[in-house]
Amino acid sequence: MAGKANMHELGAGTSSINPHHGSTRNPYDPGRVSGGSSGGSAATVCAGLCPVALGADGGGSVRMPAALCGVVGFKPTAGRLSNSGLLPLNWTVGMPGILAATVEDALIAYAAIVDQSKPSPLQQPELNLPLLTCTRSMPNIRLAKYAKWFDDSSEDIRSLCGKALRMLHTQYGWEVRVLKDIIGAKVRTVEVTVPEIEEMRLAHYVTMGSECTASLAKYLDHMSKSEIGWDVRIGLSAYRSFSSRDYLNAQRLRSRQMYFHEKIFEAADAIVTPMTGVTAYPLQDDALRTGELDYINGAALVRYSIAGNFLGLPAITVPVGHDRGGLPVGLQLIGRPWSEATLLHLAHAVQEACCAAGERRSKPPKVHFDLLLAKD
């Protein structure tokens, strides 16, 4: 173990602005956020301090900072990795994840920490680890793209992610199926949608918040509000407003979304999206001591994260280039349950295609270690 990384307080935010331990800064630009909540892990890997770091992903908290810092973020299927040692803040949506410099490093870390020797409450299929050099032997891969959702991102992100898909088609002949509409309750053609995305986002928020307050109740009842950052204080107040009826209704929506996604995976091997709707945004000086609630940027950062957590689906993000300001952009692949081997193959193909096209930098950016490690 090389060390312990900073993070957003209680994992309850997307910036990793932590008023108690300092704000984690993005190695590509120390004046910008690293993402959260596992921003310290992402920045550490990006800066080259270590090849692999762990994080917890309850709402994109591994994948989103990985995208903002230009590294790989991998969240396996819920239950594939042991939750032992993980603070059970939101036990049905939160799970361990891996941040790594490359897809190969992510695979090595995954192979090292996955454990099938102990019984699992979930019926897991046998573990398969991919041989990444055989990616070209994977024919007829179908990538599902819901155009309206995919395009709900900045111009640079849309352009880079779209270019990555075209490169995959050129190099491997893989098909990108554009998802447009759903017919009744049954998918009759490949032209389907990812329905009720906003409802899924709200149901995930209710689930995550309800479980967080239940987990922390015995601590929060004896804590002074002054011990908690302002942004987390507001978040916890919102979480406490949810009723048991709200939670149960959210689980009904979860079952509905699982049905929708099962139908999509009948027509496709993976869903492809940008990882975030925006790249890393600037740190505000007046937020460093208090924390920050930026719902506009926060909503854009988690826009594509929710299905992986709310439905427990495996997902991975891979760097595909940099915007006009030189900030990293990530492409996300979401798979059917237990399809980690396929996702790692696909991610490796994206990585190789982008490297061949010169979209990934051969070395990390110049790192301002004094700013990365200093407490604000």
Q: Residue 88: which pLDDT band, with cuts at 50, 70 and 90?
A: confident
The reply to whether 70 falls in a domain is: yes
- Segment 3-27 shows an average pLDDT of 93
CA distance 2 to 52: 10
The reply to whether 228 falls in a domain is: yes
Say what the pLDDT of residue 367 is.
59
Say what the pLDDT of residue 343 is.
95
- Cross-strand pairs, 30: none
Residue 277 φ then ψ, to 5°: -85, -20
| Contact criterion met (CB below 8 Å) for 314 and 334 | yes
The reply to whether 137 falls in a domain is: yes
Does the pLDDT value for residue 30 go beyond 80?
A: yes
- Cross-strand pairs, 56: 96
Identify the top-confidence range among 168-172, 231-235, 310-314.
Answer: 310-314
CA distance 70 to 226: 35
| Of residues 18 and 370, more confidently modeled | 18
The reply to whether 17 falls in a domain is: yes
- For the domain that residue 107 is a member of, what is the CATH number? 3.90.1300.10
The average confidence (pLDDT) of the chain is: 88
- Segment 187-212 shows an average pLDDT of 81
Does the pLDDT value for residue 183 go beyond 60?
A: no
The reply to whether 368 falls in a domain is: no
Q: How many domains is the chain built from?
A: 1
**Residue 248 lies in domain:** 9-115+129-357
- Segment 91-104 shows an average pLDDT of 96
The reply to whether 121 falls in a domain is: no
CA distance 361 to 232: 36
Amino acid of residue 359: E
The reply to whether 373 falls in a domain is: no
The reply to whether 96 falls in a domain is: yes
- Segment 183-201 shows an average pLDDT of 63
Identify the top-confidence range among 114-118, 232-236, 321-325.
Answer: 321-325
Nearest to 283 by CA among 13, 3, 16, 31: 31
Does the pLDDT value for residue 364 go beyond 90?
A: no
Q: What digits encode the pLDDT tens for the residues 246-299? A: 999 999 999 999 999 999 999 889 999 999 999 999 999 888 888 888 889 999
Nearest to 301 by CA among 144, 101, 154, 198: 154
